[in-house]
Amino acid sequence: MNTMVDLPDWIRRPARTPSPARGRVALVGAGPGDPELLTLRAVRLLRDADAVVYDALVAPEVLDFVAPHAERLYAGKRSSQHSMPQRDINALLVRLAREGKRVVRLKGGDPFIFGRGGEEIETLAAEGIEFEVVPGVTAACGVSSYAGIPLTHRDHAQSCLFVTGHLKEGSADLDWPALVRERQTVVIYMGLSALPSICAQLVGHGQRADMPAAVVQQGTLPEQRVVTGTLADLPRKVAAAGLRSPCLTIVGEVVRLHGRLAWFDPVGATLPAAAFGA
């Protein structure tokens, strides 16, 4: 049985009504997985949507907020596994809006953090389609919080970098000197397959081989797993643990805090289906 929350009237009102001739598109961040990390704006738009175009990294429980009558369109977009090319997604959003529909483009994490949200709204703007962007809890913030690893800490890190670990021609093409500075945390998205290369490159560009690092699989979800180590031994530990995407890599002294600050119990975690009421 779903737990119903008594919401104020303003959240129950429709988000906005498109004109009969043209609809509108909302790029909505679905967060890192746990549906309770959705914003109220995201929930309201999902409830009111006529069509939802969603990615592979959107947790199934998030879709419980979508109204039964809404059209659901899977766009894929998992690392190295794109079921729909980006240009086709852009065209789909334009077509649905021109049919007068209220469209939600649902993206894991935040639309503007490695989510190609900027590319999609560039197309919408060029086509004269009305749009809005609803930020989400990006994976770096959500996953690190659930892993008990603060991204900044007065004693350990005064800056934080987000980078993508996608392979380019067989290696990760990153600004390595910028990633090995003192007293900073580096968060690497989509870098599991390139982890041995990433760790070797960081050490090769001057980072300490004993720098703490962690890989978190399916952060914020009951399936969350955390493997910690150093740049020297993390690839071996991750391979031995059999971690699979989606994963996030965190490098920095803050990883040392995981043992003391980890609060999330994946074994006892439960994800309420549509806690706000469908």
The residues annotated as belonging to the active site are 55, 77
Which residues, other chains included, contact 187 with Cβ-Cβ below 8 Å and sequence gap of 6+? 140, 144, 151, 160, 161, 162, 163, 248, 249, 250, 251
The residue count of the chain comes to 278
d(CA 248, CA 219): 8
CA 245 to chain centre: 12
Q: Tell me the residue ranges of DSSP E strands in the chain.
A: 24-29, 51-55, 71-76, 102-107, 130-134, 159-164, 167-168, 171-172, 184-189, 212-217, 225-230, 247-251
Residue 212: CB atoms within 10 Å: 21
Strands 71-76 and 51-55: what pairing?
parallel
d(CA 164, CA 18): 36
Strands 24-29 and 102-107: what pairing?
parallel
